[in-house]
Amino acid sequence: MTKTFMFNALKEAIDEEMSRDNTVFILGEDVGHYGGSYKVTKDLHSKYGDLRVLDTPIAENSFTGLAIGSAITGLRPIIEGMNMSFLLLAFNQISNNAGMLRYTSGGNFSIPIVIRGPGGIGRQLGAEHSQRLESYFQAIPGLKIVACSTPYNAKGLLKSAIREDNPVIFFEHVLLYNLEQKLPNKEYFLPLDKAEIIRLGTDVTILTYSRMRYHVLQAVNILTKEGYDPEVVDLISLKPIDIKAIVKSVSKTHKVIIVEECVKTGGIGAEIIAQINELCFEELDSPVVRLSSEDIPTPYNGRLEQATIIHPHHIVQSVKMLV
């Protein structure tokens, strides 16, 4: 076991896959000589050269289209969005090309592409750099979506995503890159469609993902000292949602709280509630509680920014109210 930061765990995953398979390459703004805006690709340029660690112009629609075309012809591109918000400029390529071409070609093409990079609400990055795009991409058929939350699952999920033959949107939270954790020295992979049960409990099921995992765990530390017994599930896979794991937990606790950084209207939580109501409504003792960000662009002002998102005390209050 070796202790490492999340940004380095992601780099290890890319390095291992590029070393194993010469069809894997990475492209994006400043991924080469600069080493990536969060140093996920640091030093890879000197190891693999300009054609496999490709610095692109500031033109997300163009280089995303280039990557999709290269995937069709047999390569396995990894796109780094300097900030995932910028990939809205490539929304057409992601939805009409990456998500569709396997189907509209009658299965003649596969699109083994990973689109990854930092997102979420940081520390005063401004509205255009603080968007939560998971709900934008969730509506696109043909994509898989994962949100890593620890150095361990970041590395195992990214290696699996690179070997996946379908397009994967890979969300990394901008405030989690400096998390440290011991990782196995041997190679490992994690499934792209499974949730992680962080804590078993009987009182209430708390569903969360990405950075909110840590706000939930802070709340759980407080709640357990007061005699509460919550079960905590890190969704990880946002598309497809691991509904089997959710139903199993709900059938035990009969109460659900969803904690997300996504906005409430049309967010990931809204989709989860719909699926719970369809599949295990009779298991619920009360309506599902949804703790989501405010439906506004994220303010630059630090205090206002903090006021838009969920904090541990909100989770504690909701568990006490529900239980």
How many Å is the Cα radius of gyration of the chain? 20
DSSP alpha helix (H) spans, 33-150: 44-48, 60-72, 91-92, 101-104, 134-138
98 and 120 part of one domain? yes
- Specify whether 60 is catalytic: yes
Residues with Cβ within 8 Å of residue 10, at least 6 apart in sequence: 40, 116, 148, 154, 155, 158, 172
CA–CA distance, 315 with 294 (Å, rounded to integer): 15
Boundary residue ending a domain (156, 183, 210): 183
6 and 146 part of one domain? yes
Task: Provide the number of structural domains found in the chain.
Answer: 2
Beta strand segments in 2-102, E? 2-5, 24-28, 53-55, 76-80
- Cβ atoms within 10 Å, residue 55: 15
Strands 114-119 and 76-80: parallel
106 and 215 part of one domain? no
Q: Is residue 264 part of a domain?
A: yes
Active-site residue (options: 60, 164, 260, 305):
60
Q: What is the DSSP string of 220-286?
A: HHHHHHTT--EEEEE--EEETB-HHHHHHHHHHH--EEEEEEEESTTSHHHHHHHHHHHHHGGG-SS
- Per the CB < 8 A criterion, the answer to whether 113 and 143 are in contact is no
φ/ψ bin of 78: left (φ > 0), alpha (ψ from -120 to 50), beta (otherwise): beta
Q: Is residue 134 part of a domain?
A: yes
- Cβ atoms within 10 Å, residue 278: 9
Q: Which of 53, 36, 21 is nearest to 162 (CA)?
A: 21
- Per the CB < 8 A criterion, the answer to whether 236 and 153 are in contact is yes
118 and 38 part of one domain? yes
Q: Is residue 188 part of a domain?
A: no
- Specify whether 215 is catalytic: no
Q: Is residue 189 part of a domain?
A: no
169 and 213 part of one domain? no
Which residue matches tokens 């968007």? Answer: 131
CA–CA distance, 157 with 172 (Å, rounded to integer): 11
In the prediction, which pLDDT does 267 show? 92
Handedness of CA 256, 258, 264, 269 (dihedral sign): negative
Q: What is the DSSP string of 219-233?
A: HHHHHHHTT--EEEE
Amino acid identity of 61? Answer: N
40 and 171 part of one domain? yes
* Residue ranges making up the domain that contains 119: 2-183
Series of mean pLDDT values for 10-residue runs along the chain (323 residues)? 95 97 97 93 95 95 97 97 92 95 94 96 90 91 96 98 97 96 96 97 97 98 97 97 97 97 93 96 96 94 95 97 95
Active-site residue (options: 129, 172, 215, 305):
129
96 and 9 part of one domain? yes
Q: Is residue 176 part of a domain?
A: yes
Boundary residue ending a domain (160, 183, 206): 183
Structure letter (DSSP) for residue 36 = -
207 and 168 part of one domain? no
81 and 13 part of one domain? yes
167 and 234 part of one domain? no
Q: Is residue 157 part of a domain?
A: yes
Q: Which of 119, 147, 323 is nearest to 220 (CA)?
A: 323
241 and 294 part of one domain? yes
Residue 8: which CATH number? 3.40.50.970
Boundary residue ending a domain (127, 161, 183): 183
160 and 201 part of one domain? no
Residue 311: which CATH number? 3.40.50.920
Q: Which of 12, 37, 29 is nearest to 63 (CA)?
A: 29
Q: Is residue 77 part of a domain?
A: yes
Q: Is residue 80 part of a domain?
A: yes
